[in-house]
Amino acid sequence: MRLHRCAEVGCRELIKVGYDYCDKHYSKRLADYHVKREQTQALASRTLRGQQHVLERNRDYDSSKRQELGHEFYHSKQWTKISQYIKQRDMYVDAIDGRAYDTGDLIVDHIVPRRLLKTKTEQYNMDNLWLLTKSHHNHKTAIENKLSDNKLSHLSREWWLKVLKD
């Protein structure tokens, strides 16, 4: 087997042909690369062009790589109609803070998560649906990810109101 020295100045480690750096220096360079990349992205996101780039990258990720649970469910004709009905029923008012928002700022959310509901009837049950802002929805989702499925299936609307208001 042919070997050569690591390309890092002063390193005398022997490595296989086809690699430039030993494991130690490769890991160090990769970590430095990630730090510099994050700093560059943070700096670029402060400009209009950088913000546009971030939006395009997120849009591309959402459309091509993200495999959301039941993606087709949320794009079905029935869900679209129910979602619109819930927004009108609740008069575009967030269930947590009681303030009115625009259509795009609100998300129709399942109180008991949809993955725990077995039938389509349960998934479309309007008593299990409410309106949340994007920030409240993200907060609720983060809490849901920390709780067990058994506990989630027994949580009420009142419990969520109490937790999300804090």
Global confidence as pTM? 0.60
The pLDDT, as a whole number, for residue 66 is 63
The pLDDT, as a whole number, for residue 122 is 93
**Which phi and psi angles does 68 have, rounded to 5°?**
-75, 145
Q: Answer yes or no: are the C-beta atoms of 140 and 152 closer than 8 Å.
A: no
Q: Strand, helix or coil at 106?
A: strand
Q: Answer yes or no: are the C-beta atoms of 128 and 110 closer than 8 Å.
A: yes
The pLDDT, as a whole number, for residue 13 is 93
Amino acid 94 reads D
The pLDDT, as a whole number, for residue 65 is 65
Taking the chain (166 residues) in runs of 10, the rounded mean pLDDT of each run is 92 92 93 92 87 86 64 86 95 94 90 91 94 93 91 93 90
